[in-house]
Amino acid sequence: MESLKYTADDIAGWFIDFNNRYVENEEAELLSPMKLQKLLYYAQGAFLAIDDAALFEDDIEVWDHGPVIPSVYYKYKKYGAGGIEKSEVDVPAEINEHTYAMLYGIYEKYSKHSASQLRNMTHREEPYIQASENSNDEVKIISKASMKDYFSSTVYKKWLDDTLFDDIPVEEIL
């Protein structure tokens, strides 16, 4: 399976910086580390389902509070349940319009939910359930194949014609 040129840290930085624009206008609260993790999970699922490519190569692990990318967790855990004030990485300048539009769409779709709601949603989804139940490994990885299967057959099935994010006015939100 093909992978795009980003890391989970890059995409985390994008979500934090993008969210902070809303915070400045008092339209949102700062992202908590847990909510950030869930946005990354849903972004990965969307790219696997719609583009047939991983947004980032980093593994997503099964943790008690849902899917987690360890490198991102350790970078932002100091914020606890509070909001992340600024990105710890530079957002890649070369994020193309399609990727930007997809990330914007994921943000719009999922950021309205609380971190706890997102955690509960992921706990009911097949990739998380399969990885947590079907592995005897100490570190339980949510496979990209299971995410692609689940998100393309369930969550994004009606959008697989790739029109979901095409009408987003990227130039207006850049």
Domain limits, the chain: 2-173
pTM of the model: 0.87
* Cα 27–chain centre separation: 20
Q: Are 35 and 114 in contact (CB under 8 A)?
A: yes
CA–CA distances in Å: residue 16 to residues 44, 58, 132, 136: 16, 18, 28, 34
Per-residue pLDDT of the chain (174 residues), as tens digits, is 566 789 999 999 999 999 988 888 877 899 999 999 999 999 999 999 988 999 999 999 999 999 999 999 999 999 998 999 887 777 776 788 889 999 998 998 899 999 999 999 999 999 999 999 876 778 899 999 999 999 988 766 555 444 555 555 444 444
